[in-house]
Amino acid sequence: PYYVDLDQNLFLEAYLHSSDPNLVLFVDTCVASPTPHNFTTATHDIIRNGCVRDSTYATYYSPYRYMVRFKFNAFQFIHHNPVVYLQCELVVCRAYDYSSRCYQGCVTRSKREASS
C-alpha cells in the first residue's frame, strides 16, 4: 500500500527488465477501482486505449524507451471509500516498429451501425 492525501500527486514509474535494448514500453490503460477484484464496474478511467481520461494525468520524460513515468492526483470514490486500487495494462513493442500498438497513441474505436 501507498498512503497519500487527497489531491496529492501520485507518481508512478514502470520499467521493463529485459536483455533486449530495442523494446518500447507503452501505457495503454490504467483504471482505478474501490475494490481489488472488480475493474469493470464503478471504476474511474485514468487512461484507456492510450487516451487520457483524467485531467490530472501527465507523462514525464524517461531517459529510456523501456521505462514510462506518469502521475495523477489522488482521489477517493463516492461513499468515501478510503482505499483505491489501480490496475494498469502496459504494452511492449519493438522499437521503431511504427505499425505497433506503442506508436499508435490514443485509439478510439468506431461504433458500429445498428442494423434494423
User: What is the Cα 53 distance to its own chain's centre?
Assistant: 10
Domains of the chain and CATH, by start: 8-97 (2.60.40.4100)
Q: Is the pLDDT of residue 115 over 70?
A: no
What is the rounded CA–CA span in Å between residue 15 and residue 54? 22
Q: Mean pLDDT over all residues of the chain?
A: 87
Which carries the bigger pLDDT value, residue 75 or residue 105?
105
Q: Name 57's Cβ contacts closer than 8 Å, sequence gap at least 6.
A: 46, 47, 70, 71, 72
Cell, residue 28: 495503454
Ramachandran assignment for 49, one of left (phi > 0), alpha (psi -120 to 50 degrees), beta (any other): left
Q: Is the pLDDT of residue 4 over 70?
A: yes
Q: Name 35's Cβ contacts closer than 8 Å, sequence gap at least 6.
A: 42, 85
Q: pLDDT digit string (tens) for 29-77?
A: 999 888 888 888 888 899 999 999 999 999 999 999 999 999 998 876 6
The amino acid that residue 15 corresponds to is Y
Instruction: Please state the pTM of the whole predicted model.
Output: 0.82
Q: Is the pLDDT of residue 78 over 60?
A: no
